[in-house]
Structure 1
Amino acid sequence: MKFRRTLLGLALVATAMGFATGAMAQAAYKPEYKMSLVLGPPTPWGQAGKIWADLVKERTQGRINIKLYPGVSLIQGDQTREFSALRQGVIDMAVGSTINWSPQVKQLNLFSMPFLMPDYAAIDALTQGEVGKELFSVIDKAGVLPLAWGENGYREITNSKRPIKSPEDLKGMKIRVVGSPLFADLFTALGANPTQMSWADAQPALASGAVDGQENPLFLFTVLKMQNVGQKFVTTWGYVADPLIFVVNKEIWASWTPADQAIVKQAAIDAGKQEIAIARKGLVEADKPVLKDIAGMGVTVTQLSPAEREAFVKATRSVYAKWKPTIGNALVEKAEKAIAERK
């Protein structure tokens, strides 16, 4: 009888401890989690964060509340510091750019290799295949947990001077570029004068004429009405694309129950799929309505022929060759193979 009472007592203690652990886990949840974004709604990037946050709140019945911090405001607007801040716990979650994180994770420069990805099927072949899995493993080892892919889109070039149809048209042009050495090498090879600056600094520089042009996904052109800062010429050349990555700080991830971890991950995957469709809208249709909209703003839109594009490919091959070992020869070759075999 005494033995049974002891067993019963141990069972009650275990049950009580279980409740206590569950309560502690619940108590350990922060009232609010900080998500870093470079851009806010109404851009596809900003929508990626909002969709993810909304899905998580709904599916966890409010256990996990996420507040968006666009403009990388948690790190004083310096987007190249975002990955380090995630690792250190200054930021809890992010939907971040492969370009902005490439200074800390050199393999992410893969997506900035000039003219590697000729179409959207090529992007998908990388992010949704073995290359994407390998890059997620690299990010994980670098100290941040990746959950899903999104998309910032192909980066097209705009300027205030003239239509760009050949590398010669770029000669001497001051082009604002992101803070990545690869971009500086690329535009130098094309004869331009690359100028690295944050987007906050770029807009007044374009308006004043201190900088002639810039490169970005076309949604930014329409959202910001960039014809009003002198950008009268657009060339679609599809030279690089910028996938986005949904990530969580590892300590934050470990503080959630396995059930909530599964919810957050699935919400990221679902948000990523929705956001990719938003980012491509108006550009994948045969008549490309986004280009029509931009032309309607009084802007000259140039679409390169295959032969014209090839001239840019040849002019940047030295940059491709220089960066291939830095990114990893095997990884680049795996990417080239996946693109060649794409459907």
Structure 2
Amino acid sequence: MRPRANRPRGGARRLTAAAATGTALAAAAVGLTACGTPDTYVLHYTTYSSPTSDQSRAAQRWADEVGERTGGGVTVRLHYSESLVGADESVQATLDGRADAAQVGSIYAASDLSMFTVVELPFETRNPEVQMRAIERLYEENATYREDFDRQGVRLLFPLPLGVNAIGTREKVDGLEDLRGTSIRAGGLTSEVMLAAGANPVAMTATDIYESMTRGVVDGYTSLALANLPTFGLSENTPHITDPGIGAYSSSIVVVNEDLFDSMPGEYQEAMLSASENGIANGLEEMGALGDTACEELTASGAEFTSLPEDEVSAWKEEAGAAEQWVARYEERGYDARSVLDDYRRIIEEESADSDYTAPLAECMEGAGR
């Protein structure tokens, strides 16, 4: 780990106004009325995503906007590809000062932000925009969901999309029977669903999929969306892409240390929150751009697209019973998980009525007449 400078509460490196350059501009930008200027902050943001991923691009847009809104008073420095801390340490690192802000993936959050994993439940929505709105609203509307964040000392700023789940395979998949007995890279709650389909879920990082597919170590992969494929070189070596009907299967969120946030001047807090309001739109735009790239590369490589029959998807959902298992698992640990699931479904229904967003996978398949 790289050496760290002396840091104030919450971990941000903070420079005094006298030592900072251009603080008069910063004060003008945020409209300060009190005498003097606030300290200048450098926030260290840890992410497991690569610099070229849509999630990192969306986070960088947020960081740039925070800098603009504060006139340089708050600088967010992104540390990519787990170069600062591991993905499964993101929440704890934000709490103990190794990082100030972090991308937290639901697949890594089961022990720290357990109720956040409700967004991994399969077959709930095929609309990533709706899923992200639900992530935001649960934070405000459901006490059980919010308590995890408060207990861990982190504040939710905005969610990042992952899209809808796809299955990439070496052989064509026309139905669930074709998945039976196959070894499929999977993670999170999707692994449980793949087990219910008779497949053998294999845990591995996304960076290992390309070689594993090439060498025949696995028959395919899932727990990835269309926009993820270019990042890992998979949109050029996957001959078959299947929409399994699972829908939105995971998400990430951007969090900041709560004590640090509360210690910052109100103008800086407002700037960060205002920039966060654009997080969903930025995330969808970046995901769409990489989704288009993946679609073009898959089409150029001659990849075939299929969708599982609707009756098989319905039967699969019933057999997997993922939602009820999720509720039972966390109610045994003292959570009011039923209220979280009920509110999640209520918000999805409400937000679905106001959204006409189409995920990149469906758009690609529709555009090719598949």
TM over 0.5: yes
Matches within 5 A, 1:262-341: 262-280=270-288, 291=295, 293-317=297-321, 319-327=322-330, 328-341=337-350
CA distance in 2, matches of 1:282, 1:208: 26
Aligned match of 2:95: 87
Once the two structures are TM-superposed, the CA of residue 52 in structure 1 deviates from its matched residue by: 1.0
- The Cα offsets for residues 133-163 of structure 1, whole Å up to 9 and x where unpaired, read as 4344532333211122231211211122x22
Q: CA deviation at 1:282?
A: 8.2
How far apart, CA to CA, are the structure 1 residues paired with 2:299 and 2:182? 22
Other-structure match for 2:169 = 159
Aligned to 1:212: 219
Indicate the structure with greater helix content.
1
CA distance in structure 2 between the aligned counterparts of 1:133 and 1:93, rounded to whole angstroms: 23
Q: 2:241 maps to what in 1? A: 234
Describe how 1:42-57 pairs up with structure 2 within 5 A.
42-57=52-67
Distance 1:139 1:271 in 2: 19
Other structure's SS at 1:157 match? strand
**CA 1:270 to 1:125, structure 2 compared with 1: closer, same or farther past 3 Å?**
closer
Distance 1:125 1:93, change over 3 A: closer
SS at match of 2:198: coil
Give me the whole-angstrom Cα distance separating, in 2, the residues matched to 1:194 and 1:22: 60
Amino acid at match of 2:329: T
State the AA in 2 paired with 1:254: D
Of 244, 256, 261, the residue aligned with 1:253 is 261
The answer to whether the Cα contact below 8 Å between 1:80 and 1:103 also exists between their aligned partners in 2 is no
Matched residue type, 1:325: A
Mark the CA change 1:109 to 1:271 in structure 2 (over 3 Å): closer, same or farther. Answer: closer
The alpha-carbon distance between structure 1 residues 293 and 199, as it changes in their structure 2 partners (threshold 3 A), is closer
How many residue pairs were aligned?
309
CA contact (8 A) 1:131 1:335 kept: no
Residue identity in the other structure for 1:334? D
**TM-score normalised per structure 1:** 0.79
Q: CA deviation at 1:314?
A: 3.0
Alignment partner, residue 200 of structure 1: 207
Alignment of structure 1 residues 87-166 onto 2, 5 Å: 87-120=95-128, 122-123=130-131, 126-130=134-138, 133-134=141-142, 135-160=145-170, 162-166=171-175
Q: Is the 8 A contact 1:44 1:279 kept in 2?
A: yes
CA separation of 1:121/1:40 partners in 2, compared to 1, >3 Å: closer, same or farther? Answer: closer
Alignment equivalent of 2:180, drawn from 171, 189, 209:
171
Q: Which residues of structure 1 form unaligned runs of 5+?
A: 1-20
Please give the per-residue CA displacement for 1:284-312, whole angstroms capped at 9, x wherever unaligned. xxxx8954652322211113343343243
Identity over the aligned pairs, expressed in percent?
20
Amino acid aligned to 2:339:
A
In 1, Cα distance between equivalents of 2:139 and 2:262? 26
- Give yes or no for contact 1:173–1:192 (8 Å, CA) kept in 2: yes
User: 1:241 aligns to what SS in structure 2?
Assistant: coil
The one-letter code matched in structure 2 to 1:38 is Y
For the pair shown, the structure with the greater C-alpha radius of gyration is: 1
Q: For 2:156, what is the secondary structure of its paired residue?
A: strand
Cα 1:157–1:94 change in 2 (3 A) is same
CA 1:290/1:238 → structure 2, altered by over 3 Å: closer, same or farther?
Answer: farther
TM-score when scaled to structure 2? Answer: 0.74
Q: Which residue of 1 aligns with 2:73?
A: 63
Equivalent position of 2:45 in the other structure: 35
Q: Following the alignment from structure 1 to structure 2, what is the Cα–Cα distance between the partners of residues 125 and 24?
A: 35
How has the CA–CA distance of structure 1 residues 125 and 257 changed in structure 2, closer, same or farther, with 3 Å as cutoff?
Answer: closer
Alpha-carbon distance between aligned partners in 2 of 1:303 and 1:132, rounded to the nearest angstrom: 36
User: CA offsets, 1:172-196, max 9 Å, x none?
Assistant: 2222223x4x343222222111121
1:297–1:136 distance in 2 versus 1, CA, 3 Å: farther
Aligned alpha-carbon RMSD (Å): 2.8
Residue aligned with 1:114, SS: coil
State which drifts further: 194-203 or 261-270.
194-203
Deviation of 1:39 (Å): 1.6
Are the counterparts in 2 of residues 105 and 139 from structure 1 also a CA contact under 8 Å? yes
